[in-house]
Amino acid sequence: METQSLPERTLVAKAQAGNDEAFTELVRRHSGQVYGLSLNMLRHREDAEDNLQNVLVKAFTTSTASRGSERL
């Protein structure tokens, strides 16, 4: 599936439905901004990298948790 041309809202919906390609595209689109903001705030490359990873893990677990609650 071609995800690069999809609008943000569609990617989020697909990622929440379990589409790994859509989630990967969201990561590609936003990781630079999250890293840059983290670096600006934290002032240390390693801390900014850690924060980026924490944000991505949180986004992924929130996405998978929402899938699980829909199945109940």
pLDDT, tens only, 4-43: 999 999 999 999 999 999 999 999 999 999 999 999 999 9
The structure tokens 């990622």 sit at 15
DSSP state of 15: H
pLDDT of residue 47: 98
Q: Which residues contact 1 (CB under 8 A, 6 or more apart)?
A: 19, 21
Please determine, for residue 72, whether its predicted confidence score (pLDDT) is greater than 50.
no
pLDDT of residue 69: 59
Q: How far apart are CA 12 and CA 22, in angstroms?
A: 7
Structure tokens at 5: 């041309």
Three-class DSSP category at 3: coil
> What is the arithmetic mean of pLDDT over 46-65?
93
